[in-house]
Chains A and B, each alone.
Chain A
C-alpha cells in the first residue's frame, strides 16, 4: 500500500443506478499520483459507466445512490454543479473512445483546445492560441502552426484522438481518464496513442485511469488492474500477476481466452478456453473455464486444384468526380481445406477483396477462378449455382441480420431462393444447421434482437452454412465480439471446418486472431497484397517493414519500463 499522501483518487462503494437496475455495484478502487490503473471488463461490465460517474457525467436518468469519490480529499459526489465544473477539464480530464465524433465538427481544433484554457486558466484569445499550438506539438501533430485552424474532419482518426488528448492535458490535470482510447483505431496507431499517453503521464506526473476491454493493452501499459464483470469488481491485482495461475477464475479465463501474438498458439495444436458464467441458486455467479479437447484435422490437400484462384484482381470505385483504386492487382490462391488469413488495417482493401470475390462489386481487371470455373464475369443466372458454394460471414452481428425477420425466415429464404421446394426438407436442413452452430432449435421462432452478440454471430454463420458451401469468406467475424465470445466463435469455426470440410478466407485486422486461425497469411496495405507466407514464417521472419511494424504494434512495441513504476 502506498502512503496516504500519494493517494489521488479513492472510490468507495460506488453504485450507479438506472431505474431498478444497478449496472455498477459497490465498486471500490484507488489511483495514486502518477500511477496507471486499468479497469478491464467485457460488454456490460459497467466500466465505462464507472468512468462517467467519476466525472459526474452520467446521463440524467442515472443516479448514484451510495458511494464516495474522494479526489484529493474532496468528495466529488458532494460538490455543487458549479464546483464540479471547476474540477472537470482542470483537475480531472477525460478522453473517449470515438475520436471521430468526440470533437465538435464545426469548430477548429485550435478553438476547441483554447476553449478549455480560456475557461480554466483565463487566458486571452491570443495566449490560448499560442498554448494550443504548443499542445499540438506536445501531442506530436506535425505542422501545428498550420493545423491549428483545421476542422476535425480534416484530420485522421489517430490525429483526432491526439487533439482530444491535447484538450485533456491542456490544464495539466492530476488525473486523466481514458475510456477505450484506442478501440476505434488501427493497431499501429493504437500503440502510438498509448505510448503518447504514457509519456504524458510521466511528463506531467498525472494519474491515468485506463478503461479497456483489451488485456494486451492492460498488461503493457498499467500498474494495477481492476477486473469487472457485470457491474461487480471481481478482483484487483498488480498487472504483473495478470497471467499468473492463482487469479480469480474469470480473470484467468479472460487471460486464457485472449490470444496474444507472442504465445504463438495455433488452431491445429490448441483450442481456446471458453468462460462460462453460471448463476447458482443463491444468486452468486459461478465462473468456469472450459477448454474443449482439440480434435484432429485433415491435412490441407495441397496437390489438388486450388478451390480459389485470384489473379491480378483490381477494383476501382468511381464517384462523379473521383476514382479510388480500392484493390490493386491482387493475386492469391487458396487450397481446399485451407484457411488463408488476410491482415490489414482499415482502408487496406481487404474488404474490397472479399466483396470482389463474392461478386458483390465488379472487378475492373483480373480474374477469379472458383472450383475451376472462371466466375469473374458471370451473369446473375450463371452465378446462382456458384453462390451456393461461396458464402460470407459478416463483422457486425447487429447489422447483418434483418431485424424484421424471424431466425427461421432468415435461414429459410436462401433455401427457397436456391430451389429447395420441399418444406420438410427445408425444416430438416435448418435443424441440422442449428445443430452445427450449437443453437437450440427453439431459437428459430425468435427475432434477432432477442439474442446476444455471440448468438447473433452464430446465426450469421448458420445462414452462411445453410446452403452447404465449400468456401466461406469470414470478414472480421470476431472483431465486434468480447474476448470470451471471440474464443467460442473461433473454436466453432475450427470445428465447422473439420466437420464440413470448409475452406476459409479469414479477414481481420487482429494479427493474433489471424495467427491462430490461419494456415497461410497475406498482408495487405494500400489496396495491395504486400506479403504472403505460411503462418509460422510470417511472424518469425517478416519480409516487409510494414509487417514488422504491425507485429511490433501488436506485440507491444517497446515495452514500457516497469522499473519506474515499482
Chain B
C-alpha cells in the first residue's frame, strides 16, 4: 500500500475520531461557563459602572440568559457554528477577533520553542543513548533532569536578570522594538532578539522531555532483533543507528512531541506573562485578572482545537513513518 493512501486513510479516521472529542469539549466548556460566577450581564453592568435590576433583566433577556440551560446550550452551539465565541465587553470586540489577533504571537513562540526543544532534545537524547551508562550519559541525564525540574517562569526571570539586566544583551520583554522601522533582515533580527529568551524559557522543559524520551526510545530499539540482523549484515554502528534505530525510534518520539503541544500551550501562558509577549497566554492572564470568563473559555476551546490539529499532524506523520499504521486489518 502506498504511503499516500495510508496517510489519507489515517486522516479520515483521525478526523472522525476528533468529532466526539470536540463536541465533548464544547459541552464541557459551556457548563464551565455556566459555573463561572456572574454572567455576561453582570460583567457588562460592571463595565458600565451602574445598573439597575431592570436594565440587568433587559440585558439578560436580550442575550437569552434567562432561557433554560438546554436552550442556552443550543444557542451556544449555534453561535459556535458561526464561529462566534461571544463578545468581550472589556476589550469591546468579539472574542474570536480578539483571539485571532493574539494567536499568531503564541504560535510563533511555540513553533520556535518546539524547534529548539526537538533539535536539542534529539541531539542530547541520541548522545545519551550512544554513551549509555558512561559519564557523558550520566552528566547529560542529570542536566536533563534539572531542566525538567525548573519552572519556566523562574528560569525566564533568571534569564532576564542575566541577559537583560546584567549583560544588557537582549531585551527583557515585548515582541519588537516599539516605534522601530526596521525592514527586511533587520526586522527579522529585531524580532529574533525579542524571541530568544521567551522561546528558550519555554523550550527548556521540553528539551528535557525529548532528550529523555529519545534516549529511552533509542535504547529500546537498539535491543530489538532487527538491529542484530543489521549488525549481522556487516553494517557499521553509525549506519545501523541512522538507518535502523533512529527511524524506528522516531515513531514514539513523534507521538510524544504531539502530546506535549497542549502542555506547551500552558507553558506559553506563564512565559508570555513573564516577557509581556503579546499572545494568547497574556490574553488569558488578563482575562483571569479581569474575570472575563467568555474570553477565558474561548481561549480554552480554541487551544483544545489547536491540540486536536497538532494530534492530527502527528497521526499523519506517524502514518508516514510507520507502514503498520492505517493498514486495514
Chain A positions within 8 Å of B, measured between CB atoms, are 55, 57, 82, 85-90, 93-94, 96, 98, 101-107, 115-116, 119-120, 151, 153, 164, 167, 322
Contact = CB atoms under 8 A, between A and B. Distances in A.
19 contacts: A57-B232, A85-B234, A88-B233, A93-B232, A101-B224, A104-B244, A105-B322, A105-B324, A107-B244, A107-B247, A115-B235, A115-B243, A119-B235, A151-B323, A153-B324, A164-B229, A167-B229, A167-B233, A322-B329
A106 B321 contact: yes
Given A153-B323, A153-B324, A322-B329, A105 B226 contact: yes
Contacts of A151: 323-324
Nearest to B247: A106
A536 to B, nearest CB: 42
Contacts of A116: 233-234
B16 to A, nearest CB: 12
Interface string B109-123: 000000000000000
A57 B236 CA distance: 12
Given A57-B231, A89-B233, A94-B232, 19 more contacts: A57-B232, A82-B236, A86-B234, A89-B234, A96-B228, A102-B229, A103-B229, A105-B226, A105-B248, A106-B247, A107-B244, A115-B233, A151-B324, A153-B323, A153-B324, A164-B229, A167-B229, A167-B233, A322-B329
Chief secondary structure at chain B's binding surface: helix
Contact of A101 (B225, B233, B244): B225
B327 interface: yes
Nearest to A115: B233
B232 A89 contact: yes
B230 interface: yes
Contacts of B225: 96, 98, 101-102
Contacts of A89: 232-235
Contacts of B230: 104
A157 B248 CA distance: 21
B238 to A, nearest CB: 11
Nearest to A116: B233
A94 B231 CA distance: 10
B322 A106 contact: yes
A107 B244 CA distance: 9
B226 A88 contact: no
Most central of A55, A86, A87 by chain B CB within 10 Å: A55
Contacts of B243: 115
Interface residues of B, number: 23
Interface in B232-277: 232-236, 243-244, 247-248, 251
Contacts of B247: 104, 106-107
Instruction: Name the residue among A86, A88, A104, A153 with the largest chain B CB count within 10 angstroms.
Output: A104
Nearest to A108: B323
A237 to B, nearest CB: 29
Contacts of A106: 247-248, 251, 321-323
B93 to A, nearest CB: 45
B322 A119 contact: no
B71 to A, nearest CB: 36
A102 B225 CA distance: 5
**Most A CB atoms within 10 A — which of B228, B244, B248?**
B228
A107 B243 CA distance: 9
Interface string B203-234: 00000000000000000000011101111111
Nearest to A97: B225
B67 to A, nearest CB: 39
A120 B323 contact: no
A120 B226 contact: no
A119 B231 CA distance: 12
Which of A90, A96, A105, A167 has the most chain B CB within a 10 Å cutoff?
A105
Contacts of B248: 104-106
Most chain A C-beta atoms within 10 Å of own C-beta, residue among B232, B235, B329: B232
A445 B122 CA distance: 48
A277 to B, nearest CB: 31
A57 B229 CA distance: 10
A57 B235 CA distance: 12
Given A106-B247, A151-B324, A153-B323, A90 B234 contact: yes
B3 to A, nearest CB: 11
Contacts of A105: 226, 248, 322-324
Contacts of B233: 88-89, 115-116, 119, 167
Contacts of A103: 226, 229
Contact of B232 (A55, A120, A322): A55
The 7 nearest A-B residue pairs measured at CB: A88-B234, A89-B234, A89-B233, A101-B225, A151-B323, A104-B226, A85-B234
A57 B247 CA distance: 22
A87 B324 CA distance: 33
A322 B234 CA distance: 42
Nearest to A322: B329
A115 B224 CA distance: 18
A337 B232 CA distance: 52
